[in-house]
Structure 1
Amino acid sequence: MLPVEQALERILSALAPLPAEMVPVSHALGRVTAEPIRARRTQPPVDVSAMDGYAVRAADVATVPATLRRVGSAPAGGRYPGILGPGEAVRIFTGGPVPDGADAIVLQEDVDASAEADGAAITVREGAPAGTFVRRAGLDFRTGDVGVPAGRRLTARDIGLAAAMNVPWIAVTRRPRVAILSTGDEIVRPGELVESTSIVSSNAYALAAVVRAVGGEAVDLGIAPDDRDALRALAAGARGADLLVTSGGASVGRHDLVQEALGDGSLGADALRVGFWKIAMRPGKPLIFGHLGAVPMLGLPGNPVSTVVCATVFLRPALERMLGLAAGPSAPAEAVLAVDLKPNDRRQDYMRATSEPGPDGRRLVTPFVKQDSSMMSRLAEADCLVVRPPHDPARSAGDRVEILPLDAGFLSI
C-alpha cells in the first residue's frame, strides 16, 4: 500500500495549473490570479490633504497665532488653480489636492475664520510643520506596482485594491471542471428512497460541494448501476473535463467494477490507466488514481466518510494545483489529547474528533469512540481529524497530536 504522502505527491505531479481567462473585477471574488495585478495609476495621483482644514505654508504658521488670508478652496475632485503665496491659505477638504506652494495642512478646528469667503482673514491657533496631514503622491501605490501577486485567491480586500488601481479586468485561472460519477445498484437520489436496502446518495453532493468551495465547477454524471456497459456510458461524459472523480466501485468486491469496466482493453486510448491503487490510510484505503483517456481520474471509496476524508486529503490539493495555488498537504495544527488512544497499525489514521479550548490555551481534542466510515453524523459533528501516522504508539491524555481542522477549511473563501 502506498503511503499518503507519496500518493499525494504522485497525484499533484500529474496535474498542472489550467489556462487563464479574463473576468471583470466585479466577478473576481474567490478566483485565483493567473498573473500579478499591477496598478494602472498612481494613488494618490498628486499630494492631497488627509484632513479638512486649510492648506498653508509651514513657514507662515511657525509662530502662532498667525493671521492669513483665505484665497480659495480645494474640495476633493477640485483644485486651487493658483500658487499659494506668503500669508495666504486655501480652504481644503479631505482628499483635496494640495495647492502648489503649500506644504502643510492645519485642522479646521485650529482656525478661527471671520467668514467662509475668499478674501476673509483667518487666525491659525496651532502651527503645522511641513508635511503635516499631507498625503504624498504615490503614498498607496504607483503605476506599475504589483498590488496582488499571481497564484492568490482574491479576497474582498484584493477586489477593492484592484478597483482602486483602475484595473477593470483580471486574469484568473480557469475553474477546474470536475465530473462526478457515483456507482452502485443500491444508490438512489435524495427523496427517491424506495427500498429499505437502498442507500441515499450523499457522496455526489458532498464532492460537488467540495469542488465548488475550493473554486471548481462540478458536473454530476449521475449514478452508474453495477453494469459494465452502463458504467462506461456514463463515464464517457467525463470527456473534456479536467478531472473525473468516482465514488464507490474501487474495492475488490464482486460489484466493484470501476477498474474492470473502465480498464477494458477494448476501449483503446479511452481505457483507464491506473497509476496506483490502495493507500495506507484509514478511512480511504481503496483509492485509485489514473487517467481515463486524457482525463485524470480519482476513484474514491464508496463509504461516505471515506469519500469526504479522501476529498480533504487528496481532492482539495489536486484542485488547488489546477487553480495555480501552492498545493500540498493540508497544514496540520497541534492539539492535546483529552483521552487515551491505543497503538495505531500500519495505516495512517484520520480520526474524527471534536475540540475545545484547553486550560493552557491549546486545543483539547476528543476522538469519537466509534470511527465507522459509514457514520456521516459523526463527521458532520467533528471539527477536526486527529492524524496518526503508521505504527503510532499508544497515546495518553495530555500527549500532543497533529490535527487537520475541518471547520476553517472549505468555506473560508
Structure 2
Amino acid sequence: MENHQQDKIICSSATCTGCATRCHRQQKAPLSRDEALTILFERVRFDLAKEFVPLSQALGRVTAEPTYAAFSVPPADTAQHDGIMVNWEEVKELLAGGCRVLSENQFRLRVMGSVLEEPFDTVIPLEQVSHLADGRAEIRALPYQGQGIGRAGASIREGERVVPANYRLTPANLAILRFAGVERVPVWKKPKAAVIPVGGDLVGPGCRPGPGQVVEADSILVEGILRECGGEAWTEPVAGDSEELICQAILRALPHCDFLILIGGLGRSGAKYGDYTAQAVEKLGRILAQGMGFGPGGKAMLLGEIQEKCVVGIPAPPHAALTQSEQYLPAIMERFLHCPCYERPEIKARLHTDYQSGVRSGYHPHVALSWTEEGYEIVPVRMGDTVDCFVNATGILIEEAEDRLMKKGEPATVQLLWGEKTVRRRSRQSD
C-alpha cells in the first residue's frame, strides 16, 4: 500500500507484499471472529468521554473510574440491638461481689442504632435482662466486653472504594452508593451507533412489500442488541443501491456517532450484482477485514474504518444479520465500555438426531433445547428467516468439528439464548 489521501487508501494489489497496514487484501482465507476483531482493535480507536449522572439514571451504566464513600457507615459507635448500655468493668466488679442489680446511673436503656454514650462500652441484650423497674435493671449474665456495639466505619469507611472502574451498575450497587453518601457517579457515555440499511428493494416498517421487495427489519434487530449492551442506536433512512448514495449516507451520519453499521449491499461480486457498500467504505476509508470463517452470513461480513471510526458491514438476510450481530456487536461494545456485554452461558447437550456440521468449523445455527431426565437434547430448527430461528430457538449450536456427520446422542456445546428456567419452561410447553 502506498499512501493515504483524505482517509482513502490508494492501493494496487501488486504492492501488498510487506505492507505494514493490515487490510482485507492480505486475507488469504476467511478469518475467524477473533482474528478479525484483533485487526479491528489494532487499527481503530474506541474512546469514550465520561459524564456524571445521578443515581436515578445510573442503573446499567458502566463506571468510568472508581467511586469512594463520602463518609463512614455508621458514623459513630452504635448499639447493634435493643438492650442496656453498661460499662463492662463496672458491672464485672458488681457481679464479682454477688450483685446483679444495676442502679439507674449504671446503665442506659437504648434501642438498636442508638449512639454509644460514655462511659458505656457494652450492650446487654434485653433477653439477658431479668427485670426493669424503679429505674433499676437486674441482669442474668454479662457478655464479653464490647458486645452489641457496631463500631464507626464497621460497614463502610470514609474513602473506601465502593464500586470499581469499568463496572456495570446493578440495583444493589445503587443502594450501597447511596448508603455511602454518593449521589452522582462517573460513567462512560453510551456508545452511539448509526445504522444505515442499504438496498433499493427495501420498504419501510408497516408497508406491505410488493414483488421483489422486503420490509427493512434488520435495523431494529441491530438497535436492540446495541441497547442491550448499553449503547444508543438509531436508524438512518435507507440508502439506495449506488456507491454515491451510500457515501452520502455515511458522511451524513458519521459526525453524530461513535461507530457506524451498514446493513446489506455487501456481496463480494460488488457492482456486478448491484452491491456497493464495500466500495463506498473503501472510497471513504479502508476495509480491514471482509469474509469471516463462520456462518450464516460470514462470507460478506465486513469490518472497516472511516475517519478513525469503526465501521461494521452486516449481511442483510435477517438470520445472517442475527448471527453476525450476535458475534461482533457485543465484542465491539465491550471494547468501548471495558466490561462484558451480552454474556451467555454455555452448556453441553446431546444431539436429538444426526446433524451435518458446516463446511468449516464456526457455523452457529440456532437450535431448540429439549429438557429430559437425562439432560438437554439439541433439536435443530428451520434456519433462515423463520419463526423457528427467531422465536422458537433457545440456544446457539457452537460447532467444534469441520464438515462431518455428528451422530445422534453426541455431546455438543450450546450457548443459551435464555436462562435455564425459561428454557425448561418452553421445552415443557412445546411437548
Q: TM-score normalised by the shorter chain: which range applies?
A: 0.7 to 0.9
Answering whether residue 111 of structure 2 is matched by residue 93 of structure 1, we say: yes
* Structure 1 position 290, deviation (Å): 0.3
1:26 and 2:56 matched: yes
Contact 2:304 2:310 in 1 (8 A): yes
Q: Deviations over 1:23-75 (max 9, x none)?
A: 1222111111111111121112222111122222334555598222345xxxx
Match of 1:354 among 368, 373, 390: 368
The CA deviation string for residues 206-240 of structure 1, in whole angstroms up to 9 with x for no partner, is: 11111111111112112112233332222223222
Supply the distance in 2 between the matched residues of 1:180 and 1:46 (Cα, whole angstroms).
54
Matches within 5 A, 1:255-294: 255-264=274-283, 271-285=284-298, 286-294=300-308
TM-score by length of 1: 0.84
Cα pair distance change 1:261/1:5, threshold 3 Å: closer
How many equivalent residue pairs?
Answer: 380
Q: Distance in 1 between matches of 2:68 and 2:131?
A: 44
1:401 aligned partner, one-letter code: A
Q: Is contact 2:265-2:276 (8 Å) kept?
A: yes
Query: How far does the alpha carbon of each residue in 1:280-316 deviate from its partner, in whole angstroms, 9 at most, with x for none?
Result: 1111211000012332100000011111221111101
CA distance in 1: counterparts of 2:177 and 2:132, whole angstroms: 44
Which residue does 2:327 correspond to in 1?
313
Counterpart in 2 of 1:238?
253
Q: In the aligned structure 2, how far is the partner of 1:109 from the partner of 1:347?
A: 68
Give the drift of 1:244: 0.3
Match of 1:268 in 2: none
> Where do 4+ consecutive residues of structure 1 move more than 6 Å?
none
The residue type paired with residue 258 of structure 2 is: D
Task: Give, as a single letter, the amino acid of the residue that structure 2 aligns with 1:320.
Answer: E
Partner of 2:85: 55
Distance 1:314 1:164, change over 3 A: same
TM-score norm. by structure 2 comes to: 0.81
% identity of equivalent residues: 23
Which stretch has the larger CA shift, 243-252 or 132-141? 132-141
Once the two structures are TM-superposed, the CA of residue 331 in structure 1 deviates from its matched residue by 6.0
Rounded to whole Å, the distance in 2 between the matches of 1:242 and 1:272 is 15
CA distance in 2, matches of 1:307, 1:140: 49
In structure 2, how many angstroms separate the alpha carbons of the residues matched to 1:38 and 1:356?
47
- The letter for the 2-side match of 1:51 is H
Deviations 1:71-113 (A, max 9, x none): 5xxxxxxxxxxxxxxxx11122222222233232222343355
Structure 2 residue aligned with 1:69: 103
Q: 1:388 to 1:66 in 2, by over 3 A?
A: same
User: What residue is the counterpart of 2:34 in the other structure?
Assistant: 5
Please give the residue correspondences for 1:33-182 in structure 2 after superposition, counting only pairs within 5 Å: 33-59=63-89, 63=95, 66-71=100-105, 88-115=106-133, 120-182=135-197
SS at match of 1:318: helix
Counterpart in 1 of 2:426? none
Deviations 1:244-285 (A, max 9, x none): 011111123512210123433xxxxxx031001110111121
CA offsets 1:324-380 (integer angstroms, 9 cap, x no match) = 2157x96661312232322431241102112244435x5433232x322x2254222
Judged with a 3 Å threshold, the aligned counterparts in structure 2 of structure 1 residues 324 and 172 are, in CA distance, closer, same or farther, namely same
Give me the whole-angstrom Cα distance separating, in 1, the residues matched to 2:275 and 2:104. Answer: 87
SS at match of 2:116: coil
Q: What is the CA-CA distance between 1:166 and the residue it aligns to?
A: 1.2
Residues 297/184 of structure 1: CA separation in 2 closer, same or farther (3 Å cut): same
After TM superposition, the structure 1 = structure 2 runs for residues 186-197 of structure 1, keeping only pairs within 5 Å, are 186-197=201-212
Distance 1:363 1:100, change over 3 A: farther
Contact 2:69–2:158, Cα closer than 8 Å, also in 1:
yes
Distance 1:17 1:27 in 2: 22
Partner SS state of residue 288, structure 2: strand
Distance 1:323 1:251 in 2: 31
Q: Alignment RMSD, CA only?
A: 2.5
Structure 1 counterpart SS, 2:221: helix
The 3-state SS of whatever aligns with 2:328 is helix
Structure number with the higher helix fraction is: 2
Correspondent of 2:265 among 242, 246, 249: 249
Partner of 2:409: 398
Tell me the residue number matched to 1:267.
none
Is 2:62–2:168's contact at 8 Å kept on the other side of the alignment?
A: yes
User: Cα–Cα, structure 1 residues 403 and 27, in superposed 2: closer, same or farther, change >3 Å?
Assistant: same
- Residues 233, 98 of structure 1: CA spacing in aligned structure 2 closer, same or farther, 3 A cutoff? same
Which letter does structure 1 place at the counterpart of 2:101?
A: T
- Change over 3 Å in CA distance of 1:124–1:158 after alignment to 2: same
Paired position in structure 2 for 1:227: 242
Query: What secondary structure is seen at the aligned counterpart in 1 of 2:177?
Result: helix
Q: Does 1:302 align with 2:316?
A: yes
